[in-house]
Structure 1
Amino acid sequence: MTTRLPICFTTQPRRTLRAITLATLTVLAAAGTAPVLAQQAAAPAAAASAPSVRAETAKPLQEAQEALKAGKHQEALDKLTAVEAIAGITPYERYVVGRFRLAAASGKGDTAQAMAALQGVIDTEFLPEAERRPLNEALIRLAVQHKQYAVAVQRYPVYVAAGGNSTELRELYPRLLAETGDQAGAVREFAALVKAEEAANRVPGEVLLSRLAVAQNTLKDDAGYLDTLAKLAGTTGKSDYWNELIARTAQRNGFADERLRLDLYRLKQAVGLSLPAGEVGDMAYRASQIGLPSEAQKLLDDGFNSGVLGKDANAAADRKLREAVTKAAANDRASLNDAETAARNAKDGNVPFALGMALSGAGQHDKALAVMAVGQAKGGLRQPDDALLHLGVVQVRAGKVADALGTFAQVKGSDGTADLARLWTLYLKSPARK
C-alpha cells in the first residue's frame, strides 16, 4: 500500500510566526518592575497587607532597579544574583528578582536567561492576571523562534486558559505538536481546525488539509488519511491527489479490482488523469472483450492521435487491436437497431443495460439512457450495483449531473462499486471540477 502523500508539507513553524523581539519583551517585562519598590516606600501601610520585600533585600533590589533604568543590564543582573544569595529569600522576593532579571536579560539580548526568567515569572501567584496572557504569548513566540517547541506546546494551553485567542497561535499549535512527536494530538487539533472551517461554510485550505494528512499518515491512520485525501482531491482537483486517492481505494480489502478495472480507468479519465500507454491499451482491450468495441475504438484512436500509443514495445499489438475493434465497432453500429429490438424483448434488464453501455460508448448517450430505463423496469439484474454505477456514468456523459448524483447515491455494494460511486460523487460536487 502507498504510504506517502504526493505533496508532503513539512512543518516549519518559524517561517510563518510573527516574531517577538527581545526589545519588545524588555518593554513587557519592565512594565511591572518600576512600581514594585516605589509603592512599598510610598505606602508602607498598604504594603503591610500585601506581599513585600524584606529590608535586607530592598537595598540591592533598588540598586538593580536603578541599574536597569540606566540601561546597565549586566550590572543589574549581578545585583540580582547577589539578592538570590541572601538567606531565607521569600517567594515574593524571588518573583521580584525574576521580574527584574527578565527585563535585564532581555535588554542584554540573553535569550536563554530571559526565557528561564519569563517562565518563572508566569508561574508565580504574584503575577497580575492582566499580564499573564501577554507574557505567555511572548514566551510561546520566543520559544518557537528558538526551536524550543516543547516549551511552546506546554505553554499554549496555559495561554488559552488565561484568555489567549490568537488565530496565529491556534493554527500553529497542531504543527508544534507534530514537531514534538505528538502525532495523535496534531491530528486532533488539525481536524478541529478543518471542522471549524467546514462549520463556517468555508472550504478548508490545501495547506491545512495537507498538514492533517501528513500527521494521519505518520500515525498510520489509513481511514483518516483516505478521508483527508478525498477532501484534498475534491477541493483542489489536483491530479496527484486524485491519482493516489483512486489507487488507495482500489487497494482496499474486498475491492473487486479485476471486475472493476475498466470502471477505474473511466473514473481516472473523468477526473482528468492522463493514462499511460499501458493503461490505455489495457482499457481498450477490456472494453472490446465485454462487447464495447466503439468505446475501445475511441480510446485507441485518441491514443494513436495523441502519440501515447504506437511507440513502445506494445505498438504492434496496439495496432492489431485497433484494426480488430474498428471492424467490430462498424459491425456493432450496423446492428444496433436489431440489438435494440432484442433488448426491449429481453426477459430481464441485463441485455438492455449492456446495450446501453454500447450505445453510450458510440456517443449515443440519450438513446443509451432510454434503453437502460427499460432495463431498470424489467429488473432481474445479475449485478445491480454495477448496473447503477454504469447508469450513473452514462448520465454524466449525457450531462445529467443531478440524475447521476441520485443514481450514485443508490450504489451500496461492498465490493468496490460503492467506493467508486462515492468518488464519482466527490468529483461531481468538487468546486474544482471543470
Structure 2
Amino acid sequence: MIRTQLTRRMMALVLLAAATATATAQAQAQAQAADTLRPEVGKPLQAAATLLKAKHAREALTKLGEADAVAGKTAYESFMIERMRASAAQQAGDTATAAGAYEKLIDSGKLAPAEQDQMIAALTGADYQLQRYPQASQWAVRYLKTRSGDPQMTTLLLQSYYMSGDCRSMANELHGVRSPAETSLQLLANCYLKQHDSANYLTALERLTASYPSAAYWSSLLRQVQSSGVFADRLALDIYRLKRAAGAFGSASDYMEMAQLALAGGYPAEAGRVLDQGFASGVLGSGDEAARQQRLREMARKNLLQVKATAAQQPDVNDPEAALDRGFDMVLGGQPEAGLPLMEQGVAQGRLKRPDDVKLHLAIAYYLAGQKVKAVQMFKTVKGEDGTADLARLWMLRAQSS
C-alpha cells in the first residue's frame, strides 16, 4: 500500500516535470528551424512539430527518425531533434524513448540550469517507471545536489533505493534528518524486513515508533523483540506491562493473559488492577467468558489478601527478593509511595539472583511513580542479553516520548 501511494504521487510529479521541460520544444523548433537547421533536417522536424500539435505523437516520432537519419548533423541539429523527440515520446507514452532523449539533452550542455534540473527530474521518473531503480537513484542524487531537500525528489530517491533493495543507502540518506517523514521511515523498516535483516529492522522500527508513536507500531516493535532468539520466556509479563503503558493493549485476551501471568508470577495486586480496568472498560464481564473472567478476578482478590496477611505475620525485610517482589506489586497496584521504599531496600541488601531483572523492574516502578529521570538513569544500567536490555531500551523510548 505504501509503495502504490508513493508511486502514483511521484508519477504525477514526474509527468509534470517532463511536460514543463519539453513544452517549449515545438515552439523553439518552429521559430529557429529556418535560420539554424539545414532543410534536410528542418523539414522533417517541422513536420514532426505539426503532427505533435495535432496530437499525432507516433507519427511525429517517425518524422523525427527521418531527421535523425541525416548524415553529418551538427550538435545543434541533434539537440533540436532530441528536444522534439522527448516531447513526442512523452505524449506517445513511450517512456524508454523519452528517457533516452532526456539523457542526451542533459549531456548536451545546451540546457539552462533550471531546465537541466527539470530534465533530470523527468529522467529520474522515467527510469523509475522503467524499473531501472539504480539509475533512478543516481539521477535523483544528482538532482538533489542543486536542489537539496526537495521533498518530492527525496521521496523518489528513497523509493528507488527501496525497490533496488539498497537499505544502506536509504539509511545513510535518512541519517541525521531530524524529522523524517513517516512514509520514509516506513520504507526503511520495510526494506530491512524484505532483506530479512532483523537487527536493522528492529532499529528502524524503533526510530519509526519514537517519531510516530502508535499502538500499531508499538505492537510490531514488541513482537519483533519477543520473537528474537534470545528473549527469555520469563519476560512475557514485562512485554504486557510495556504494551499497557504504550497504549497497545486492550483486548479481552490481553487482560486475561496478563492477569494470569501476573498471578503466576506472584503479583496479585497487578492482576487485580488489570482485571478491574478490563471490567471498567466493558471489555470483560460479558459474553460467554464472563463467568471465567469473574472467577479470575475473585482469585486475584483472594491472593492479594493472602499476601497481605502473610507479609503482616512474616515481614520480608531480611529477604531482598521477597521485598522486591512485594514492593513492585504494590507499585503496580497503584501504591508507589509504599512500594518503592521496599524495592530500594531490597536492592540495597544485594544478594540478587537476577540483577538485570531487578534493575528493569525498579526502573519501571520509577516510571510508573512519575519519576522519569530516575527511571531513565536506571534503564541505562540494564545490560542483560536475554531481552532485559531490549526491554529497558524500549521503556526509555516510551519514557522519553510520553
TM-score category of the 2 structures, normalised to the smaller one: 0.7 to 0.9
Tell me what 2:168 maps to. 188
In structure 2, give the amino acid aligned to 1:332.
Answer: V
Distance 1:15 1:352, change over 3 A: same
- Distance in 1, matches of 2:94 and 2:264, equals 73
Separation (CA, whole Å) in 2 of partners of 1:81 and 1:364: 84
Instruction: Tell me the equivalent position of 2:91.
Output: 109
Residue in structure 2 matched with residue 60 of structure 1 by the alignment: 40
Residue in structure 2 matched with residue 197 of structure 1 by the alignment: 177
**CA 1:80–1:399 in structure 2 vs 1: closer, same or farther (change >3 Å)?**
closer
Correspondence 1:250-329 to 2 at 5 A? 250-257=226-233, 259-311=234-286, 315-329=290-304
Provide closer, same or farther for how the CA distance between residues 315 and 67 of structure 1 changes in structure 2, counting only shifts above 3 A: closer
1:24 is matched with which residue: 3, 20, 23?
20
Superposed displacement of residue 408, structure 1:
0.9
Whichever residue aligns with residue 360 of structure 1, its letter is: V
Partner of 2:105: 122
Q: Report which stretch shifted further, 66-75 or 189-198.
A: 66-75
Q: Where does residue 355 of structure 1 map in the other structure? A: 326
What stretches of structure 1 of length at least 5 have no aligned partner?
A: 1-6, 40-52
Superposed CA RMSD in Å reads 3.5
Whether the 8 Å CA contact 1:22–1:111 is kept in 2: the answer is: no
Paired residue secondary structure (1:329): helix
Aligned position for 1:391: 362
Partners of 2:245 and 2:332 lie apart in 1 by 14
How far, CA to CA, are the matches of 1:326 and 1:104 in structure 2?
78
Q: Which residue is equivalent to 1:173? A: 157
Structure 2 letter corresponding to 1:105: A
Q: Aligned equivalents of 2:373 and 2:354: distance in 1?
A: 23
> Cα distance, 1:249 vs. partner?
0.9
Which residue identity is paired with 2:156? L
Q: 1 or 2, which has the higher helix percentage? A: 2
1:423 to 1:79, Cα distance in 2 relative to 1, 3 A: closer
Indicate how the Cα distance of structure 1 residues 77 and 276 shifts in structure 2: closer, same or farther if over 3 A, else same: closer
Q: How far 1:266 moved relative to its partner?
A: 1.3
The range that moved more, 316-325 or 363-372, is 316-325
> Would the aligned equivalents of 2:125 and 2:136 in 1 still touch at CA under 8 Å?
no
Number of residue-to-residue matches in the alignment: 390
SS in 2 for 1:415: coil
CA contact (8 A) 2:185 2:208 kept: yes
Change (3 A) 1:219 1:361: closer
Query: CA 1:283–1:62 in structure 2 vs 1: closer, same or farther (change >3 Å)?
Result: closer
Cα deviation code 1:346-385 (max 9, x no counterpart): 1x62232122123324432122111222222211111111
User: 1:415 — aligned with what?
Assistant: 386
2:211 to 235, 255, 260: 235
Structure 1 segment 206-217 matched on structure 2, within 5 A: 206-217=182-193
* Match of residue 48 from structure 1: none
Q: Secondary structure at the match of 2:384?
A: coil
**Residues 334, 169 of structure 1: CA spacing in aligned structure 2 closer, same or farther, 3 A cutoff?**
same
| Deviation of 1:318 (Å) | 3.6
Q: Is contact 1:385-1:411 (8 Å) kept?
A: yes
Aligned equivalent of 2:124, options 132, 140, 143: 140
Percent identical among aligned pairs is 29
Q: TM-score normalized by structure 2?
A: 0.81
Residue pair 1:118, 1:139 contacting (<8 A) in 2 also: no
1:157 aligns with 2:138: yes
Cα distance, 1:112–1:368 mapped onto 2, change above 3 Å: same
Change (3 A) 1:168 1:379: same
Q: Are 1:13 and 2:10 counterparts?
A: no
Distance 1:84 1:293, change over 3 A: closer
